[in-house]
Chain A
Amino acid sequence: MATTTRALAPKPPGTVLLAAEGVRKFFSDDTAPVLERIDLELRENEYVALLGPSGSGKSTLLRILAGLLQPSEGRVLARGAPLHGPNRQVAIVFQGFALFPWLTVYQNVELGLLATEVPEAERRERTLRAIDLIGLDGFEEAFPKELSGGMKQRVGFARALVVQPEVLFMDEPFSALDVLTAETLRGELRDMWSDSAMPTKSVLMVTHNIDEAVSMADRILVFGANPGRVRVELKGLRPTERREKSPARTRLVDAIYQVITNPDEDAEQLVEQYIARAPTRQRRKAEPARPRRYQALPDVSIDDLTGFVQYLSGIGNSGPLSDLARDLQMRGETILRIAEATDLLGFADIQERSVFLTPLGQRFAPLELDAQKTLFRHAVLDHLSLMREIVHRLEASQSRVLQAEEVLAELETSFARTEARRQFETLIDWGRYAELFSYDDVEGELRLDEEHYNA
């Protein structure tokens, strides 16, 4: 390791390389935005993480900053000049690697240089150097399909670094890899960054992994969903504090967990509570959530939901989220979604970073299937206003039938198109299980389940 590292001796904030000003994004004719008024500056010598649940628009923002998408409102400035078309200062490492399967490793890496005016001899030299830097020596003539996931993503890194971008973008670069491989690559990236071995002046990383953000970034922007927006901005840890188990790190991780698990609360206050002991944190007032007519349903299947309640009841009605993720071998994000769903229905409470079954949840767990369904039906009607609304409309209809399009249209007043579709699917899944209605996908019709509704 080099003796002077970037992050150990943080330079004063450098020039602004890239800035978003009041960026909003709508997809096609959606009424609800995917991104709501984003302001963001990316400076020299900065490693910034965009952290948030899926659907919070962080990947969309990355693509807007890269010039792959145009903002619907607001603008992007690259070194002060408005950006049109792909940003020349940026290279991207993709979640799915985005390697060309018919090109060799060498050709894939060289691809980044083809469009530049670099003469051939130098191109070759730089390509080989990038391959070498990233530990792919000897794989030059291999095709991507011969490589493991980790090796593939190394090619992705080499292709990005070979163009010597001012800013390196990474879109969930480790999430398609297994845990160990991801950890290895993260470590290598961290070393290259702190040794200034990379030609890059700053890094922007999209992730949903809190630990990943905390262990790498100098600045973390926590995103919320529906619409995608920055809920709070946090200063990252000093490198010495980034070690596992350092108290500062635990505090920061706690705070972020709080923010993410409480999507409807004021992120500022939550952070205040958790990092009060370390008052140097720099924060910024972020946009409050737009009021919505309906709660957002987490994307959780019935099996996961009921299984989770039963599991919790089996281990003494409560447990820390991180332990649950480990024991159930699920991603933290997934566990969080499931926990949110149980919370929403009143089966559980999320406090601190743990879940506790409510009396209702405890009653639910040991019941027979039919009794569970009855309880679930009441919970759904008590807590989900849209579900109530649907049942009312079904009742009001002569034929006891409701068109799916109506429900979708209703959802689209609050959610962007794809998210509305997802909400709809969860709604159908839960409603069918609750035996409130049946749904015919071919006809696109909801039909009241009269037997149970009247009962």
Chain B
Amino acid sequence: MAQPIAPVVTEGRAPAAPVVTSPAPRWVEFILLCAVAAVTFGVMRAAAEWRAPLSPGFRISLSPLRLPYYAALSTLRMVLAYIVSLVFSIAYARFAASSKAAERVMLPLLDILQSIPILSFMPGVVLGLVALFPGRTLGLELAAVILIFTSQAWNLAFSFHQSLITIPSELTEAARIYRLGFWRKFTRLELPFGVISLIANSMMSWAGGWFFLMASEQFAVGDGRLRLPGLGSYLAAAADAGDTRALVYGLLTLVVVIVLLDQILWRPMLAWSDRFKFESAGSEAPSSRVLDALRGSRLIDALRSRVLRPAGKRIDHALGASRNGDTPDTDGGEVPPARRRRRRAIGIVALVLAGAAVVWGLVLAAHTLGGLTKGDWGRVGVSAAATLARTTIALVIAAAWTVPAGVAIGTNPRWARRLQPIVQITASIPATAVFPVLLLALLAVPGGLNVAAVALMLLGTQWYVLFNVIAGAMAIPSDLKEAATMYHVVGWRRWKTLILPAIFPYLVTGMITATGGAWNASIVAEYVTFAGHTTSTTGLGALIAGAAERGDFPVLLAGTLVMAGIVIVMNRLLWRRLYGYAETRFRLG
């Protein structure tokens, strides 16, 4: 969803886990076996579901008993989309880092992709895939996976690219002089070096995926609306029917799924990835009981020594040996002439192809946009201004309350420890799911959705700012605080000379993420369907959502281009400069 990568704050740290783990009790093995069985069964059921013929008349059951099943289907979609995102991001970033020329094209492209809202991808993806698998659910399922992918992938790619270009040069040189080859360099150096930030960003990607879950499980096709069985469409159906009770059930299920995933997936991953930390000095490692239990499991042990390790060895041998010898030397840009010629030829071909694609795309776009009247463009302009105003207000409000609150939490270790888990769980609830409930209350306030949309955006994005401010406040060195106290720097002056400058880089990071989030959220905040009718207000998000719903491609394209343009221009002109300034001027240490 958004970049640059906000530092992920993790709570509840404990000393590093002991290397030797005691064997786990038997029930751990039992639970493991049950989990394996459940996953197998679930995947088989899902496969059956996907092969089923497409039924436009499909209705979501609002019975709470169906919720576990729907939740499982949604999670499976998320997992698939995440795997695709991960593979894509790693490949994309690896390729972008392989040459200066590739980097110059691929990074800005990523910037553009990131700024395009999910709904703008929808018509193309859905129509294409449904046409590819006529009469099958599979097409829709793939469409859902791809839509989720568009809300997960970009920040992963950015983060891995960032890791790749910051690998210390001595390590790269060691990899080259010992001729590790492409595969071994990747598995021994690049992946381990990037894994911590990949995991941190994966958590953000999942949050992004949940946020747009409702948008990615229902599709407007022609006049009708197609829904896939899942938690997102359950919530949407409940909102449609105005069934508050079902809505609450759905919301609770979502929270349970998110918390469960956090406990059995992300926390163990974070704890495990601690061994890839580059600096040895540092704070205590994150810990996870689940990981400790898994480490003690005989089942996992057997799996590792009998299956995983031998298989890994074989793969390593096969892939490592095939490209023995000189790696494609990208780091120094020093390439033997023959290969340089070959590479140049490939580069030229790629450039020509890409150029042709761009030209074709431009022609198509111009043709599509040609159908727009002056009035349409006027509407786009007014909408853009309205949404710009809303995102700005949302950001100002977010900063206004998160700075004092974040500083209060961050400078008080006891509060920080107690409040952080609560804040994190609150933040992990995708705001979109709460929208319908909130809307009931908010629509009553003067200004209606016009004002409510700001609140909804806020709900979706303020957490990035809060987390970063807390992290910044926690990072203020205690000697600076002591010095300020000794010299009676108190009150407003303390804020001006110590706190604000110290948290400034963090605040900027949080605001960058939040701006991207706010623009993205506008498509769900300005256009809401509840109890059978759609409420919308003037805004670029509403414009795009409405156009996607109606299949109005010219307006959809115009809206998307304008939104992407605004986001990119603001990033370049405002945020990146501010970030550079903050880094050089206010970064401590």
CA distance A144 to B192 in the complex (A): 15
Is A143 close to B, CB under 8 A?
yes
Q: How many residues of B contact A (CB 8 A)?
A: 31
Of B180, B278, B336, B581, the contact of A101 (CB 8 Å cutoff):
B278
CA distance A103 to B178 in the complex (A): 15
A96 x B334 contact (CB < 8 A)? no
Stretch with Cβ within 8 A of A (4 or more), from B211-219, B324-332, B567-575 = B324-332
A98 x B334 contact (CB < 8 A)? no
Is B309 close to A, CB under 8 A?
no
Of B170, B181, B280, the contact of A95 (CB 8 Å cutoff):
B170
Which residues on the A side are within 8 Å of B276 (C-beta)? 101-102
B180 x A115 contact (CB < 8 A)? yes
CB-CB contacts below 8 Å: A87-133 with B:
87-88, 90-92, 94-98, 100-103, 111-112, 114-115, 117
A100 x B173 contact (CB < 8 A)? no
B178 x A91 contact (CB < 8 A)? yes
B178 x A114 contact (CB < 8 A)? yes
CB-CB contacts below 8 Å: A400-455 with B:
441-442
Of B174, B326, B336, the contact of A92 (CB 8 Å cutoff):
B174
Is B189 close to A, CB under 8 A?
yes
Of B168, B170, B324, the contact of A115 (CB 8 Å cutoff):
B324
B180 x A111 contact (CB < 8 A)? yes
A70 x B332 contact (CB < 8 A)? yes
Which residues on the B side are within 8 Å of A68 (C-beta)? 173, 176-177, 332, 334
Is B481 close to A, CB under 8 A?
no
Of A95, A101, A117, the contact of B277 (CB 8 Å cutoff):
A101
Is B390 close to A, CB under 8 A?
no
Smallest distance from the beta carbon of A214 to chain B beta carbons, Å?
Answer: 27
Smallest distance from the beta carbon of A28 to chain B beta carbons, Å?
Answer: 9
Is A66 close to B, CB under 8 A?
yes
Which residues on the B side are within 8 Å of A442 (C-beta)? 581, 584-585
CA distance A63 to B332 in the complex (A): 10
CA distance A94 to B168 in the complex (A): 12
Which residues on the B side are within 8 Å of A97 (C-beta)? 170
Is B179 close to A, CB under 8 A?
yes
Q: How many residues of A contact B (CB 8 A)?
A: 35
CA distance A87 to B325 in the complex (A): 10
Smallest distance from the beta carbon of B584 to chain A beta carbons, Å?
Answer: 8
Smallest distance from the beta carbon of B45 to chain A beta carbons, Å?
Answer: 38
CA distance A98 to B177 in the complex (A): 12
Chain A 40-64: CB-based contact to B (< 8 A → 1; otherwise 0): 0000000000000000000000010
Which residues on the A side are within 8 Å of B343 (C-beta)? none
CA distance A87 to B173 in the complex (A): 12
In terms of DSSP, what is the predominant structure of the interface of chain B?
helix
Which residues on the A side are within 8 Å of B171 (C-beta)? 98, 100
Instruction: List the A residue with the shortest CB-CB distance to B280.
Output: A145
CA distance A449 to B18 in the complex (A): 61
Is B533 close to A, CB under 8 A?
no
Which residues on the A side are within 8 Å of B77 (C-beta)? none
B174 x A98 contact (CB < 8 A)? yes
Is A270 close to B, CB under 8 A?
no
Instruction: List the A residue with the shortest CB-CB distance to B585.
Output: A442
Is A163 close to B, CB under 8 A?
yes
Instruction: List the B residue with the shortest CB-CB distance to A85.
Output: B326
Which residues on the A side are within 8 Å of B585 (C-beta)? 442
CB-CB contacts below 8 Å: A309-324 with B:
none
Of A95, A100, A163, the contact of B192 (CB 8 Å cutoff):
A100
CA distance A249 to B270 in the complex (A): 56
CA distance A84 to B336 in the complex (A): 6
A92 x B277 contact (CB < 8 A)? no
Smallest distance from the beta carbon of A252 to chain B beta carbons, Å?
Answer: 31
Which residues on the A side are within 8 Å of B554 (C-beta)? none
B180 x A86 contact (CB < 8 A)? no
Is B493 close to A, CB under 8 A?
no
Which residues on the A side are within 8 Å of B341 (C-beta)? none
Smallest distance from the beta carbon of B191 to chain A beta carbons, Å?
Answer: 10
CB-CB contacts below 8 Å: B115-154 with A:
none
Count chain B CB atoms within 10 A of each CB in A66, A68, A117, A144 and give the residue with the most.
Answer: A68
Sorted nearest first, the 7 A-B pairs with minimum C-beta distance are: A145-B280, A70-B334, A115-B179, A98-B170, A84-B336, A85-B326, A98-B174
Cβ contacts A to B, 25 pairs, < 8 Å: A63-B173, A66-B173, A67-B177, A68-B173, A68-B176, A69-B334, A85-B326, A85-B336, A86-B176, A86-B326, A92-B173, A94-B173, A94-B174, A96-B168, A97-B170, A98-B168, A98-B171, A98-B173, A100-B188, A101-B276, A101-B280, A111-B174, A145-B280, A441-B584, A442-B585
In addition to A86-B177, A111-B178, 7 A-B residue pairs with Cβ atoms within 8 Å of each other are A68-B176, A98-B170, A100-B192, A103-B188, A114-B178, A115-B324, A115-B325
Chain B contacts to A: CB under 8 angstroms: 168, 170-171, 173-174, 176-181, 184, 188-189, 192, 275-278, 280, 320, 324-326, 329, 332, 334, 336, 581, 584-585
